[in-house]
Amino acid sequence: MKYAIITYGCQMNLHESEKIAGVLREHGYDERAELEDADIIVFNTCCIRENAENHAFGNIGALKKLKRQKRHLIIAVGGCMAQEEGKAALLKERFPFLDIIFGTHNLDELGELIERKRREKRAIISLREERRSTEDGIVPVRTSYPNAWVNITYGCNNFCSYCIVPYVRGRERSRHAEDIIAEVTSLVKEGYREITLLGQNVDSYHSEEGVRFPALLDACARIEGKFRLRFMTSHPKDFSEELVETIARHEKICNHIHLPVQSGNDRILALMNRRYTRAHYLECLAMLRARVPGCAVSTDLIVGFPTETEEEFCDTLSLVEEADFSTAFTFIYSPRKGTKAAAMQGQIPEAVQKERIMRLVEAVNANTRRLSAGYVGKDTEILCEDFDKKRGMYLGRNPEGRMGYFTSDRDRIGEFVTLHVTSANGISLYGEERGD
């Protein structure tokens, strides 16, 4: 029996899709397939922006015909959108052919839901208020060799005023440090070469035994073997000197941090409930760069937050240069029902938001290009992770997160390669292997 999983959203969701694949394999679906050939199709949804929701709605709707042709086909919808208040009922009403709707806290139950669906032959909706345990016991089918994701926390307590995540992912819970360390150790033994520790806010990790994030990171970096460590996402309000010292101490921890700032203006940051100022953010970067020279910093930026003025937007623009971001994910503010910001007066017209994001993207790209050009003529180590058929080149990221491309006449995936950079384009570096 064959399965297909369609994933929307962040790394957290990508990793959860690997767990969904793990559950499906245990329940007799053992081959990945295209939609038309699948016996079960699972949508792992995202609701962080309206766009992601509309995409999912469109793609689910498009399966109506297939479901009519293949009566035994099971279609399941899970993830953040399914968990959002009132969305399960809406999904069922709009798509009566759906078989299973399950929430973000029900992953460990998915196998049972499939069995029930087969037995009872009626639609099943199952949404839990919170996860039963931080250990779900699922063996994921990992699809991103040589990279592997490892959850360290679930949920979020921060309630940024624009964000739906705390409502659909619940309160923050940290996994036991020993379980995380054991998972990383076994991944390294299995041959994974880059491990990314995942959480909505990794800096607030604290296990029941009192282990904090810097100590966890330190313990992971002491695991034997040749591999790299990354972590995401960090929150500037919890960013600490101890964390910086840990990064500085270990070569295995990449010289790259993703530290979302969202806005460069203090009034907007306060309205966003981010609980730091522009000055604090810049102090974090100064501390980081003083101890970890050359450390790349990427970020997330939102434009067109309610009441944002042209001057306040310009503060975000100027921060791009001042903070010297290696790259940034830029977003137009998207109101999410149930969040504080969605109810604020002063929503910004779409035309203004679009004009601002174009200027912001240009500023980000200009900085990215300038930093990439700085690699030309130098060597950088990349971890080869894929082959780009279109370009006919192998590719992989360097510790700072830049994508390097090179040619080789043998399979290099999973190998560390020293790339001599000969040209750069955007965030991509091109070159040849040192010694080739």
Binding site for ligand SF4 (CB under 6 A): 156, 158-160, 163, 165-166, 200-201, 235
Q: Choose between 159 and 329: whose C-beta lies nearer to ligand SF4.
A: 159
Using the minimum distance from each CB to ligand SF4, give the nearer residue, 79 or 431.
79
Pairwise CA distance, residues 210 & 202, whole Å: 15
* Strand positions, DSSP E, 8-73: 31-32, 40-45
CB of 301 to ligand SF4, least distance (A): 12
Cβ nearer to ligand SF4, comparing 201 with 207: 201
Separation CA 253–CA 319 (nearest Å): 26
Q: At what angle do helices 87-94 and 50-61 cross, to 10 degrees?
A: 30
* DSSP letters spanning 357-388: HHHHHHHHHHHHHHHHHTTTTSEEEEEEEEEE
- Least Å distance, CB 280 to ligand SF4, is 15
Q: How far is the CB of 181 from ligand SF4 (least distance, A)?
A: 25
**Which residue number, 73 or 202, has a Cβ lying nearer to ligand SF4?**
202
What does the alpha-carbon distance between residue 169 and residue 156 come to, in Å, rounded to a whole number?
7
Q: Please, which residue, 175 or 397, has the CB nearer to ligand SF4? A: 175
Please enumerate, as own/partner, the contacts of 132-135 that have beta carbons within 8 Å and a separation of 24 or more. Answer: 132/105, 132/108, 134/173, 134/174, 134/175, 134/176, 134/179, 135/175, 135/176, 135/179
- Is the CB of residue 214 less than 8 Å from the CB of residue 249? no
Complex with ligand SF4: residue 174 or 372, whichever CB lies closer: 174
Least distance from ligand SF4 to the Cβ atom of residue 63, Å: 30
By beta-carbon proximity to ligand SF4, the closer residue of 160 and 180 is: 160
CB of 154 to ligand SF4, least distance (A): 11
Rg of the chain (C-alpha set): 22
Q: Could you tell me which of 146, 150, 184 has the C-alpha nearest to residue 383?
A: 146
Least distance from C-beta 35 to ligand SF4, angstroms? 30
Nearest approach, Cβ of 105 to ligand SF4 (angstroms)? 16
